[in-house]
Amino acid sequence: MRIIGIDLSGPKNHKDTVLAIFKQEGNHLQLVKWANNLNDQDILNEVFEQSQLDEVVIGIDAPLSYQDGGGDRKSDRELRKFIVGLGMRSGSIMPPTLNRMVYLTLRGIKLSREIENLNASYPISLVEVHPGAIIGSRLSKQNIEYVLAYKQEQSARSFIRNWLTEQGLTQLPVEIEEESHSIDACAAALGAWHWKDSSYNVKWIFPASPPLHPYDYCC
């Protein structure tokens, strides 16, 4: 199985879009490729290539649906409550139609549907994820400060990179500590792995509700 974590940015901001591809090796994920500065076609090419080799599971950090009429989806409200209970800040969960989110939402919806239309040799499954919640829900309470700081502080990213290795993600280069988007892509892969592999459990999940909300949302 191939696990892909994608930290998606808006359609004009390719620089901050990061993709991390892992190959499952028993109870570990081995990093196969890590790349940034990706447009939609770059991502589709990577997913297609992996789908010719094995089953692919993709965790995408971006809204993959929106609430008709605007505002929060029910899943956004529920996840916000969950992370506040962990000691995290509520502001990291934003409505998909908020002005600063709407282009990211558009890209997430478009890209997820394009992935579904790929001529894959093996199955592809997608799940919407929240990397901060994936990290925060698995950290011990005494270490929750690191998830609050990793967007700003390199030392917190260094701690989380080492912690991700302890969670079974191997061969992570030190360079992923340089900015938070790479950490988020790896965390997205961790969440997608735990969502798909029956040996693990997600910490929170809001099931898909087709046709308007066609993907599970988890951390």
Note the pLDDT tens digit of each residue in 43-86.
999 999 999 999 999 999 999 999 999 999 999 999 999 999 99
Helix axes 40-51, 102-116, angle to 10 degrees: 30
Domain assignment of residue 213, yes or no: no
Q: Fill in the DSSP letter of residue 213.
A: B
Q: How many CA atoms lie within 13 A of 190 on its CB side?
A: 28
Domain assignment of residue 215, yes or no: no
Query: Which residue range forms the structural domain that includes residue 54?
Result: 2-202
**How far is Cα 175 from Cα 14, in angstroms, rounded to an integer?**
19
Domain assignment of residue 114, yes or no: yes
Domain assignment of residue 96, yes or no: yes
Split into its structural domains, the chain has a count of: 1
Cα-Cα end-to-end distance for the chain: 20
Beta strand pairing call for 2-7 and 18-25: antiparallel
What confidence score (pLDDT) does residue 102 get?
A: 96
Query: Residue 8's CB: how many other CB atoms inside 10 A?
Result: 28
What confidence score (pLDDT) does residue 12 get?
A: 87
pLDDT exceeds cutoff 90 at 159: yes
Domain assignment of residue 83, yes or no: yes
Average pLDDT over residues 2-13: 95
Domain assignment of residue 208, yes or no: no
Mean pLDDT for all residues in the chain: 96
Q: pLDDT band for position 146 (50/70/90)?
A: very high
Domain assignment of residue 135, yes or no: yes
Q: Which amino acid is residue 214, in one-letter code? A: P
Contact assessment for residue 193 and residue 187, using Cβ atoms and an 8 Å cutoff: no
Domain assignment of residue 182, yes or no: yes
What confidence score (pLDDT) does residue 196 get?
A: 97
